[in-house]
Structure 1
């Protein structure tokens, strides 16, 4: 496997080896960067400005493994359909300073709230909040806490408080809840002690491409580590302020049909609970959690475009 790039340019390995080298040039063409103060830290924003401030804006969150620039396959097709996009590097990830993996759930919710506030100052159209993988539940939690967006659009949306999910889909499995008291004690003493994230959540199920999975594990900007405090917060702080059966905003959910990381049954359970009258669920047959095939990103952009135009 070729790893031509390192350091801050490591992300280019994904594009050159997997998603298409043309995405590097498109990032140069479309993206500007800014930073904002959030949770008393500076966080990096990647901004795709369409040139039309009245167009809808998507604020899109990465998941537990990635960071904003890894989302290029998701975001470039939307920018080319004329949408404004802001993708933040959440605390402890990407091109932010500080210790990698040092975050908790509420800090990430605050990051998304502050990014939405930034979007509203810069753009005047509708604000759609969304995310991929863990970014989906984070976007939902932010929308319920602050009620500051017009719609939700997610690539995977499930309930972190689903006991079946925590017992079956994490590496700690049946020991997950038994470990909580131990994690509480350790986090009070060694809160910034870090674990390899993929000791808790398997990165081998990210995609069908072993090359992609291994690239993520070695990426200096990615979610390779997590503090004990951060890991504990995913279990104890992730319960949303409003349950799914009381949520009424428009919601679009795309779910990979062959997802091994967040399997279909958890996403469908959450989607069916949503009280939204305007909601749409699309299952993508043959698609992995983080697909390498361009066709799925094209479909994502088409479904997003159709849904937003019908709002």
Structure 2
């Protein structure tokens, strides 16, 4: 059975992030999304839903290793302001309100879970589903889109963990990225061990604002979360289900922050350049890895709005 359910009325760290965003994008008790629980296998997955039954499309917003669904609420508001959309933001397994007790989680379960969420949303109604993956969620969204039934893919970056340069920038200490994969494979007996994500990932570069980085590092639902070595091993040694040269499942938009100090866009370009599908790159001016700066924040909403508009019937 899943762990005891909690909600964002009980856990309120997400409110501390709101001051870093423009007033019209802030989320609080008075304009919070509806909270839902979706049963997936043995886990109760928490969903935030900005319901819009008359909107022509739905978008599933995927966080990365330092976030969770509610942390991305300002981006959901940005996207729904830019165009009529229904937005669903899950807490991926082990993050936010989606807990699994002591069971180790493998990275491929994230892919399976999101793919099944897409199928569930498609079964609810006929509206097309788009994916937007932020940070590590970009490659996750890519892997889900490769399975089909997604109308369009938006990512902020495409970080292939097989690339040594990517691993060395993702990890807190570059040497860790070099030795992590062989070390974790030799030490599989330690798979259940949980370590703080901030020990592994370079959370100090999550944004270009030190105060925001401190919040992320201390947030037990996100950057202060603990993950198992099993999850880290299976992520760092993962390969996408389809190589980019064979990816034709849907059009791709990469909205990469131009001032990303954690994973600069040069790290994403080798994978992006190989994608066979129709694709577009938009650099978000002045924006860090977690984009809070203008004009990049507005550019993100405009780029996604235009991308979805082109792909919708009569759009």
Decide: shared fold, TM above 0.5.
yes
1:182 aligns with 2:183: yes
Q: Distance in 2 between matches of 1:11 and 1:164?
A: 32
1:10-89 mapped onto 2 (5 Å cutoff) = 10-15=13-18, 17-20=19-22, 23=25, 28-29=30-31, 31-52=33-54, 55-80=56-81, 81-89=83-91
> How many Å apart are 1:28 and its aligned residue?
4.2
Q: Distance in 1 between matches of 2:279 and 2:112?
A: 25
Q: Distance in 2 between matches of 1:298 and 1:286?
A: 11
Stretches of structure 2 that go unaligned for 5 or more consecutive residues are: 1-7
> How many Å apart are 1:181 and its aligned residue?
3.9
Q: Distance in 2 between matches of 1:72 and 1:202?
A: 23
Runs of at least 4 residues off by over 6 Å: none
Task: Give RMSD over aligned pairs.
Answer: 2.4
1:256 aligns with 257
1:114-193 mapped onto 2 (5 Å cutoff) = 114-144=116-146, 146-188=147-189, 190-193=190-193
Distance 1:294 1:83, change over 3 A: farther
8 Å CA contact 1:186, 1:228 repeated in 2: no
> How many Å apart are 1:168 and its aligned residue?
4.3
1:230 aligns with 231
Q: Distance in 1 between matches of 2:191 and 2:284?
A: 39
Number of matched pairs:
301
8 Å CA contact 1:256, 1:285 repeated in 2: yes
8 Å CA contact 1:93, 1:101 repeated in 2: no
Q: Distance in 1 between matches of 2:291 and 2:78?
A: 15
Stretches of structure 1 that go unaligned for 5 or more consecutive residues are: none
> How many Å apart are 1:203 and its aligned residue?
0.5
TM-score normalised to structure 1 length: 0.88
Q: Distance in 1 between matches of 2:163 and 2:9?
A: 38
Q: Distance in 1 between matches of 2:221 and 2:274?
A: 35
Q: Distance in 1 between matches of 2:220 and 2:10?
A: 7
> How many Å apart are 1:108 and its aligned residue?
0.7
Distance 1:118 1:29, change over 3 A: farther
8 Å CA contact 1:30, 1:49 repeated in 2: no
> How many Å apart are 1:213 and its aligned residue?
0.6
- Secondary structure (helix, strand or coil) at the match of 2:204 reads coil
1:199-238 mapped onto 2 (5 Å cutoff) = 199-224=199-224, 225-236=226-237, 238=238
TM-score normalised to structure 2 length: 0.87
